[in-house]
A and B are shown apart, each in its own frame.
Chain A
Amino acid sequence: MTAIDVSNLSIDLGYGSAKKRILGDVCFSVEAGESFGLVGESGSGKSTILRCIARLLTLWEGDIELEGRSVKNMPFAEYCRMVQMVFQDPYGSLHPRQSIRTALQEPLRIHRMDRQMDRMERALVDVGLNPDFLSRYPHELSGGQRQRVAIARALILEPRILLLDEPTSALDVSVQAEVLNLLADLRARRNLTYLFVSHDLAVIDHMCERLAVMQHGRVVEVMGREVLATGRAKDPYARELIQASLEYDQAV
């Protein structure tokens, strides 16, 4: 089954001669249970696509289907139970004046779910945190712990699709590895579908089976993970990007 199907997604800003294309005819699809990467340089439109799917941006053209249904006319409550998102900046994605308990309980209250205490504790244990963390505030946690809480919050509604917007780029390298392993582990256990945005090809290589390379708001090539090792991409820009990444890794 296709979990995410994006076809002809485009965004134009401005009017008349000042009209500027931000995203142009983006097409890709992600199978259920698959982890799909979006890579590209800064400003290539990776996060914008994610925000369109997340319904945080609404002024786009084209079609986005989740499990065969268009996001535009899906009931919002149902949509929330299907898709959740983990944001890039763990310092900005948790409300600074809400305890972890409030952050986790809000979605449960909104959707009137049962066994709230139980679910909250399990959500924290699932991301490798002690249930004692419920009474803490975000400023008392490290970056990695915050990102774990953000993942717990995203998963507490038991979504089938998780949108990940560079979830580890703001973290220290060792913490980055822990969070990536956690995400891989959660996907295996819960059979989640990931749409993973990153500019780090090493992270994508570790996390995803397939990926799309983006440049200037367009998908230039969709390829399998194995291409990253060989560097045999068809598109010249994708080849250049992979080559640069390989050389950088060797230099480091």
Chain B
Amino acid sequence: MTVSFLSMQDVAMPNPRSHRNSAFHRLLAVIRELLGNPSSGFGFIVISILLLTALVAPLIAPYDPNVIDLGQTLQAPSAQHWFGTDELGRDILSRIIYGTRISLTIITIVSVIVGPVGLVVGTTAGYFGGWYDTIMMRITDIFLSFPSLILSLAFVAALGAGLENAIIAIGLTAWPPIARLARAETLTFRGADYISASRMQGASPLRIIVKSIMPMCLPSVLVRITLSMATVILTAAGLGFLGLGAQPPLPEWGAMIATGRRYMLDNWWLVAFPGGAILLVSLAFNLLGDGLRDALDPKQR
């Protein structure tokens, strides 16, 4: 029964690496990984182009998206109007370019609402458990049991048609899956020793949730938000198409399809180009989300 005595001097090694820019390097590494895979690379590039387009829309759009030119109605795609013109003679390419701003506004505001709400509801429910968990999860169940478009329709009907109300309605329907995810993640961490350790050090539940649990949930929540962006774009376009989202003069893609519907049979370009834009962007968000999951999820390594 003897324990061998070894010196404990040689364990203290100086740190060879510096971590000054570790967050920046991590971001670069994630981007490199996204570009390394063809499908997530496609998603990343399309989203980057979308962001850039929205930023410089007035510079690259060949025409004003709202100027009516009744001498040029329903022109087929040509060198002058690449994507043709609509029933009021407005250039469709310009409208699609300006439409990126509306889509991005919707996406940004929805994720700013949905991310924190889902994260807070999910982590608190998972951490506290008990009746609080039961109540919160039944509420999310109720929200989850409606198809999101139908529920947004109900909200818009109650709040009134318009872009702002459409954003609020989509935000209200998009948080439950994120809350569920955050709760499930929290349940796997709450019993971990590092949570016990920080509780023993006197950390309040709020501090534990914000400092220890949320950073652990963040990667999967980010992935989930990216993936749900595709649904958000489709729901926004659906509301626009039904006349409950963005209202007609605004170049919103769904609303463009809705007004083009009447001329669709003879003038295919009125719906094909906005439809293609919706398809491309929601596909890109899906692919980017898949790629992000591979790049961020530590469990898959």
Identify the A interface with B (CB < 8 A): 54-56, 76-77, 80, 83-85, 87-89, 92-99, 106-107, 110-111, 128-130, 132-133, 135-137, 144-145, 148, 150, 153-154, 157, 173-174, 176-178, 180-182, 201-203, 205-206, 228-229, 245-246, 249
Q: Determine whether the beta carbon of B3 is less than 8 Å from that of A93.
A: no
**Residue pair B15, A97 in contact (C-beta under 8 Å):** no
Closest to A51 in B: B196
Whether A106 and B193, one on each chain, are in contact in the complex, defined by CB atoms closer than 8 angstroms, is: no
Given A80-B201, A95-B194, A136-B1 contact (CB < 8 Å): no
Given A97-B216, A135-B19, A177–B6 Cβ distance below 8 Å? yes
Point out which of B14, B192, B194 has the most chain A C-beta atoms below 10 A from its C-beta. Answer: B194
CB pair A94–B194 under 8 Å, yes or no, is: yes
Whether A56 pairs with B196 at a CB distance below 8 angstroms is yes
**Candidates B1, B6, B15, B203; contact of A106 at CB < 8 Å:** B203
A203–B3 CB distance below 8 A = yes
Total CB contacts across the A-B interface at under 8 A: 109
- Give the contacting residue for A110; candidates B5, B7, B12, B201; CB below 8 A: B201
SS class, residues of chain A in contact with chain B: helix
Instruction: Determine if A182 and B8 form an interchain contact, defined as CB atoms under 8 angstroms apart.
Output: yes
User: What are the residues of chain B within 8 A of A107 when measuring CB–CB?
Assistant: 201-202
* A89 to chain B: closest residue by CB: B193
Are the CB atoms of A80 and B202 closer together than 8 Å?
A: yes
A116 to chain B, nearest CB (A): 14
Taking a contact as CB atoms under 8 Å apart, the answer to whether B14 and A130 are in contact is yes
Closest 9 CB pairs of A and B: A132-B15, A93-B193, A80-B202, A107-B201, A87-B193, A178-B8, A92-B193, A95-B194, A130-B12
- A201 x B211 contact (CB < 8 A): no
Q: Are A76 and B202 in contact (CB under 8 A)?
A: yes
Evaluate whether A133 and B6 lie within 8 angstroms (CB atoms) in the complex, with A106-B211, A107-B201, A153-B197 already known: no
> Please, which residues of chain A bring their CB within 8 A of the CB of B8?
128, 178, 181-182
B267: Cβ under 8 A from any A Cβ:
no
> Is the Cβ of A130 less than 8 Å from the Cβ of B215?
no
A20 CB to nearest B CB, Å: 21
Whether A246 lies near B1 (C-beta < 8 A) is yes
Contact A56 B203 (CB under 8 A): no
Contact A178 B6, beta carbon cutoff 8 Å: yes
Nearest residue (CB) in B for A125 is B12
- B1 contacts across to A, CB distance below 8 A: 201-202, 205, 228-229, 245-246, 249
